[in-house]
A and B are shown apart, each in its own frame.
Chain A
Amino acid sequence: MELQAHPQRILLPAKGSFITLTLALGLLFNLLPWGGIAGVPDLTATVLAFWCIHQPRRVGIGIAWTLGLLLDVGNGALLGQHALGYSVLAFLAFAVHRRILWFPPWQQALHLLLLLLSTQLLTLVIRIAAGGDFPGWTYFAGSLICAALWPALGYLLLLPQRQAEAMDENRLI
């Protein structure tokens, strides 16, 4: 268990196709017709933050911006709103990526909660400045759900990299 909490274990390199697939799935989840439900978890942001933390050289602000633009159009939101939020999220995730992995998963989730909440707050300020309606406090519930999902999500997203080709008790690969 101690080894699980601290990433001493050496992982296989992440596949680009897997990163793309997970980001696309997150986007798909966000574009599901949710109706007017407030507080739907922003899974794209969570997956994006995960890859920005684990693969900071491959997933960065540019990809975050593009994903945000796609979401802006898909949701009929103000153009650039998600793009701005995700860029800031990617930057914040990059800023903490060296430190956050030394914490156990639930403490990582607390870090993530802070990142997601600040992103949402930024979006909220932008939209209200542009003449939007305050969507109610349930709007922030999405970040709480995302943070609660973080340990499970992290386990799932790292699963392909844990598939060692030859298991060796002494080598931890």
Chain B
Amino acid sequence: MEHQPPPFFNRGPAPLVRLAFFVSLAFLLMVLDARFRYAENVRQVVALAAYPIQLVAMAPVNLFHGVVDYFSSTTALREENSALRARQLRAAQGLLQLAALQEENGQLRRLLDARERLPRKSVFAEILYAARDPFSRKVVIDKGSQDGILPGQPVIDDVGVIGQVTRVYFLVSEVTLLSDKDQAIPLQVLRNGLRAVAYGAEGGMLDLRFMAANADIRNGDTLVTSGIDGTYPPGLPVATVVRIERDAAYAFASITLMPTAGTDRYRQVLVLSNEAKPPPPQPAPPARKPVRTKRPRKGG
């Protein structure tokens, strides 16, 4: 006759068994997340549970910002105001020309029968905080799927491209910065139209890869988005060349870029929608041939 230990001593499975169970569960989640991207539903559900804690964690920062705003003196505001006024004046000249140029460009494009560049919708958002994951470079903005944010949308500030929305929750979304190691952006040298692809590098810089050692690129060159990926609209400033190393031993030059936009300055950003899809193919002109109608054959 077997004796069961009294329930007082019952401790459940052994610690090593428990560890094996939870470790394999964690590995399963990691593989699903990293390899197959199936874990987004799990993430959405847990995000709802974590949201109140995140909200509370944001409170001291918001309080700090509020106090700083309250005590920022009128002189500082006045200085900022005059600086903004001057900047607006400088921009106004460009804007006035822009309208005329856009009109002219539209005409020329119609002339060339090229499709017109469609204006994009944009959503204004604010950066809440930089994600705490030290292995990647991401920021969290305060707009989510509720405001129509979709994964893959480009994010810009007033001087250039910041990055791309990579994960959308209901109320917030994660933006991967251009300086993230896995983030690539197709670029074009403004001076001569040379196309290239930049990847994130260490220290918030970008790395222009696969440029031939004899490519026509100089220090100080501005790079803008080329737009051939269909994600980023063309012509947005992205970075300037700061260092070029040409080594005869390698086929490619090592080119370092400094991003134009910085997330450490302002907290306001624009999320551009990538709804600008190519127009549907035009219906073919009516065929002149008489349309044959098939008669259903009987039998067979």
In contact, A70 and B134 (Cβ under 8 angstroms): no
In contact, A70 and B49 (Cβ under 8 angstroms): yes
In contact, B50 and A65 (Cβ under 8 angstroms): no
| Partner among A33, A94, A133 whose Cβ is within 8 Å of the Cβ of B15 | A94
In contact, A83 and B22 (Cβ under 8 angstroms): yes
Residues of A with C-beta under 8 A to B49: 70
In contact, B22 and A38 (Cβ under 8 angstroms): no
A84 to B34, CA, bound (A): 15
A5 to B65, CA, bound (A): 44
In contact, A81 and B30 (Cβ under 8 angstroms): yes
In contact, B136 and A133 (Cβ under 8 angstroms): yes
Of B40-48, B111-119, B154-162, the segment with at least 4 beta carbons within 8 Å of chain A is: B40-48
Chain B residue nearest in CB terms to A77: B133
A103 to B29, CA, bound (A): 38
A127 to B54, CA, bound (A): 23
Chain B residue nearest in CB terms to A74: B50
Chain A residues touching B, range? 35 or more
| Partner among A80, A133, A139 whose Cβ is within 8 Å of the Cβ of B27 | A80
| Partner among B29, B56, B58 whose Cβ is within 8 Å of the Cβ of A83 | B29
In contact, B132 and A84 (Cβ under 8 angstroms): no
Q: Digitize B125-168: 1 where CB-to-A-CB distance is under 8 Å, 0 elsewhere.
A: 00011111111111010000000000000000000000000010
- Asked, given contacts A24-B53, A33-B57, whether A79 binds B29 with beta carbons under 8 Å apart, the answer is yes
- Greatest chain B CB density within 10 A among A35, A40, A72 is at A72
Residues of A with C-beta under 8 A to B84: none
Residues of B with C-beta under 8 A to A13: none
Chain A contact residues: helix, strand, loop or mixed: helix
In contact, A78 and B46 (Cβ under 8 angstroms): no
Residues of B with C-beta under 8 A to A139: 134
User: Nearest chain A CB to B134's CB is how many angstroms away?
Assistant: 4
Residues of B with C-beta under 8 A to A156: none
In contact, A76 and B53 (Cβ under 8 angstroms): no
Chain B contact residues: helix, strand, loop or mixed: helix
User: Nearest chain B CB to A37's CB is how many angstroms away?
Assistant: 8
In contact, A65 and B26 (Cβ under 8 angstroms): yes
| Partner among B18, B53, B136, B182 whose Cβ is within 8 Å of the Cβ of A31 | B53
- Asked, given contacts A61-B15, A79-B29, A83-B29, whether A33 binds B34 with beta carbons under 8 Å apart, the answer is no
In contact, B53 and A27 (Cβ under 8 angstroms): yes
A35 to B138, CA, bound (A): 9
Residues of B with C-beta under 8 A to A28: 53, 56-57
Check B32 for interface membership: any CB of A closer than 8 A. yes
With A27-B53, A34-B130, A75-B131 known, 20 other A-B pairs at CB within 8 A are A30-B132, A31-B50, A35-B130, A36-B134, A57-B11, A61-B22, A69-B46, A70-B50, A74-B50, A76-B167, A76-B174, A80-B26, A80-B30, A80-B33, A83-B26, A84-B27, A88-B23, A94-B15, A130-B34, A131-B34
Residues of B within 8 A of A (CB): 11, 15-16, 18-19, 22-23, 25-30, 32-34, 39, 42-43, 46-47, 49-50, 53-54, 56-58, 60-61, 128-138, 140, 167, 174, 180-182, 202
| 13 chain-A/chain-B pairs, Cβ below 8 angstroms | A28-B53, A31-B53, A33-B130, A34-B132, A36-B130, A65-B26, A76-B138, A76-B174, A77-B135, A79-B29, A79-B32, A83-B26, A84-B30
